[in-house]
A and B are shown apart, each in its own frame.
Chain A
Amino acid sequence: MRQKVMIGMLALAAILLVRNLYVISVLPDEVNQGQIFRIIFFHVPAAVAAMTGSAVALIASVLFLVKKDFFYDSLAVAVTEVGLAFLAVNLVTGSIWARVIWGVWWAWDPRLTSALVCWVLYAGYLILRQALEEPTQRATFAAVYSIFAFTDVPIVYFSIRWWRTLHPQPVFFNKNGSFPADWSAALRLNLIALFLFYAVLTMIRLRQEQAQREIDYLRRTVHAM
């Protein structure tokens, strides 16, 4: 059943993404930026998906510390790892966009820097997990670290409001945004497609984490025999 749901979600994501590629290609160019502005259709959804993943990781980490249920630990690591890939998409597409519009690949601007720090923090979360052998200790330390890492997420989101930055103000999640309706619809659909893809990858990683736990148990059983 779970397998069928995953395949269905993946198929829906693929259909939406292919359809969106067509819709994005026929939209008119943005007045000031031209064609490159279309990168927003991946740049923003990837960021939103990654940030949502961070929030899920935070909740799962808190729930693990409260309930000591390893399911939440598995969920936190699954959602964090997938989020890291999506955040990498956001950073790389942003960098390419910056090269075309600002003339530089990277600027140490509050939004860009805080997003990079966020990526490094969550990469550190995965490295920390590799460094600890004992499962309960690993899950507890990782949960505390994940809660700490999440403190950067609001900084990433609000950085463009708190400080003067090169990065433009939000045009989509903003009442004063100037995003035309047809562009908003395309962005929303791409957001749904990437969320579906994110969810499928998380479900697979979650299953893998649970299988890995079973493998650890079997290894201990074999050693005990």
Chain B
Amino acid sequence: MTVHFLMPLAALLQAPDDAIRDEIGRLQRNFQGLIWGFVAAWVILMAYTLMIVFRERKIRREMERLKNMVEDSGKKS
């Protein structure tokens, strides 16, 4: 089990410098891609959620305003 775990490390130690640099670069791009993917997913969903929250406030204000207008008109007449 321990040998199996150390095998990639052993392979890296035997590999030429360029190959190690390429592999590290690939792993880095891979990880950055994953992070950007997760961030993008959450930013889109949170931005949409915020849009809904702002719309909710706008609707409530408009509803209140119109109800007051109807009540005022009723009192005048």
Contact = CB atoms under 8 A, between A and B. Distances in A.
Given A100-B30, A222-B70, A85 B44 contact: yes
A201 B67 contact: no
A208 interface: yes
Interface in B2-49: 26-27, 29-31, 33-34, 36-38, 40-41, 44-45, 48-49
Nearest to A21: B38
Contacts of A208: 52, 55-56, 59
Nearest to A84: B48
Interface residues of B, number: 29
Contact of B34 (A38, A212, A218): A38
Contacts of B31: 35-36
Contacts of A225: 70, 73, 77
A92 B44 contact: yes
Which 6 residue pairs are nearest across A and B when measured between Cβ atoms? A100-B33, A218-B66, A85-B48, A39-B37, A96-B37, A225-B73
23 contacts: A33-B30, A34-B30, A35-B27, A35-B31, A39-B34, A39-B37, A39-B38, A85-B48, A93-B40, A96-B40, A100-B29, A100-B30, A208-B52, A208-B56, A211-B60, A211-B63, A212-B59, A215-B59, A218-B66, A218-B69, A218-B70, A219-B66, A225-B73
For B34, B52, B73, B77, the residue with the greatest tally of chain A CB atoms inside 10 Å of its CB is B34
Interface of B: 26-27, 29-31, 33-34, 36-38, 40-41, 44-45, 48-49, 52, 55-56, 59-60, 62-63, 66-67, 69-70, 73, 77
Interface in A54-93: 82, 85-86, 88-89, 92-93
Chain A contact-residue range equals 20 to 34
Contact of B44 (A39, A88, A97, A205): A88
A221 B63 CA distance: 13
A97 B36 CA distance: 10
Given A92-B41, A97-B37, 6 more contacts: A36-B37, A88-B44, A215-B63, A218-B63, A218-B66, A225-B70
Contacts of B73: 222, 225
Given A34-B30, A222-B73, A214 B37 contact: no
